Amino acid sequence: MKQNILITIIGPTAIGKTSLSIALAQHFGCDIISCDSRQFFKEMNIGTAVPTKEELAAAPHHFIQNKSIFENYSVGDFEKEALEKLEELFTKNNIQIMVGGSGLYVDAVLKGFDEFPDIDESVRTEINAKYDEFGIEFLQDKLQELDPEYYQKIQTENPQTLQNPQRMKRFVEVCLGSGLPYSSFIGKRKIERNFTPIVIGLEADREIMYGRINQRVDIMVNEGLVEEVKSLLPNQHLNALQTVGYRELFDYFNEKISLNEAIEQIKMNTRRFAKRQMTWFKRTENATWFDFETDRNEIIKVVENLTHKNATF
């Protein structure tokens, strides 16, 4: 009996994941599940580096510009929809591909989420009131007090999360509502999947990676990024738009910084984002890493061997 296999391609932004995923999809005759959380939204095109029309035509893609910025779409929603789509695709081909730079979304599909207790609505109301009064510092101080271990983990591995009100509220409400640290609920649930993951990572020396990012931002600007962001200005408050490449240009249009400053900040913040991506992905168990310039046929050969090892049970 053939085992289902999900080939998952990870790595930082601008490293070449899309081209590798297409090469693999064409080799195995299968589809591609995108798990880039910025590419779900149809109103965001240039600033999210959505695959070109030619790339989308080269292999069947799913979860590319399939949502609107006006919809609430969570990582839990994506997990459910992606697993349903994979269930369907595996009936046609026992090998499928997933690609993307959103580590949390990759983990959601490969490993699932831990189970947390139901929290009384009064706790949530109180936390929202405190946040409205004291800001993000209240949430940071509270998490550091209630779960210093998890606070330190975030500070080390993904410090931007400490500035994310929604996620910080969630951490604090679990601590307060359960009387236990948030970290005590992590890793307790055994998740079963109907596929075996094969994880392929692409990487590059830091300076090369940063150069590719700077070049990509320049290309985005030449392709009309400033105009795209201007068209979204009336909706700048939406969660989907609180992301690199958009926030900086909103500051420009709101006359907080110059256009040149905005572009330089996009480059800097994208480089920081790529560094965090690598920190996250390097923790991935059993990943096989390649330099981004490795010949695609060589990578395909390695993946072919890995699929044969895992193809039957």
Q: Would you list the domain boundaries of the chain? A: 5-113+191-310, 121-185
Q: Do the annotations mark residue 17 as ligand-binding? A: yes
User: What is the layout of strands, in order, in the sheet containing 61-62?
Assistant: 61-62, 32-34, 95-99, 5-10, 196-203, 287-291
pLDDT of amino acid 313: 47
- Average the pLDDT over 81-110 and give the result: 95
Q: Do the annotations mark residue 12 as ligand-binding? A: yes
pLDDT of amino acid 190: 67
- 108-137 pLDDT tens trace: 999 887 778 888 889 989 999 999 999 999
Q: Do the annotations mark residue 13 as ligand-binding? A: yes
CATH 1.10.20 fits 121-185, yes or no: yes
Phi then psi for residue 209, to 5 deg, are -60, -45
Task: Give CA–CA dist 78/35, Å, rounded.
Answer: 8
pTM of the model: 0.81
- One fold for 5-113+191-310 and 121-185: no
Helical (H) or strand (E) element with 6? strand 5-10
Q: Do the annotations mark residue 16 as ligand-binding? A: yes
Task: Give CA–CA dist 35/10, Å, rounded.
Answer: 10
Q: What is the mean pLDDT of the chain?
A: 93
The more confident residue out of 57 and 116 is 57
- Average the pLDDT over 83-106 and give the result: 95
Q: Do the annotations mark residue 18 as ligand-binding? A: yes
Contact 109, 77 (CB under 8 A): no
Own/partner pairs, 125-131, CB within 8 angstroms, 24+ separation: 126/176, 127/169, 127/172, 127/173, 127/176, 128/169, 131/165, 131/169
Q: Do the annotations mark residue 262 as ligand-binding? A: no
Q: Do the annotations mark residue 15 as ligand-binding? A: yes
For domain 5-113+191-310, give the CATH superfamily. Answer: P-loop containing nucleotide triphosphate hydrolases (3.40.50.300)
Contact 162, 155 (CB under 8 A): yes
- 174-212 pLDDT tens trace: 999 999 999 998 877 667 899 999 999 999 999 999 999
